[in-house]
Structure 1
Amino acid sequence: MPKLKTHSGAKKRFNLTKSGKVKRAHAFKSHILTKKDTKRT
């Protein structure tokens, strides 16, 4: 069986640290933040 390609969406969303841990951005923290309370973000 051939090697599988990395999912291109996952490739763009996750980063590996030097120690091999996975870094990712948390959802719902990107835009329309002005009207939201800091507790909500």
Structure 2
Amino acid sequence: EKKLVVTGRSNGASGAAFADYIMKTVQDPNLKRRWQDYRK
């Protein structure tokens, strides 16, 4: 999954946006299923 790209440029995600994405992902109740689907 590639939702955000931190590039250091104006067209990339900010550090805050990336941190928010990470926190939402870690707190996702379906994280285990998402990880298992990703590994396939």
TM-score range, shorter chain: under 0.3
Name the one with the larger strand percent. 1
TM-score (norm 1): 0.21
Name the one with the larger helix percent. 2
TM-score (norm 2): 0.21
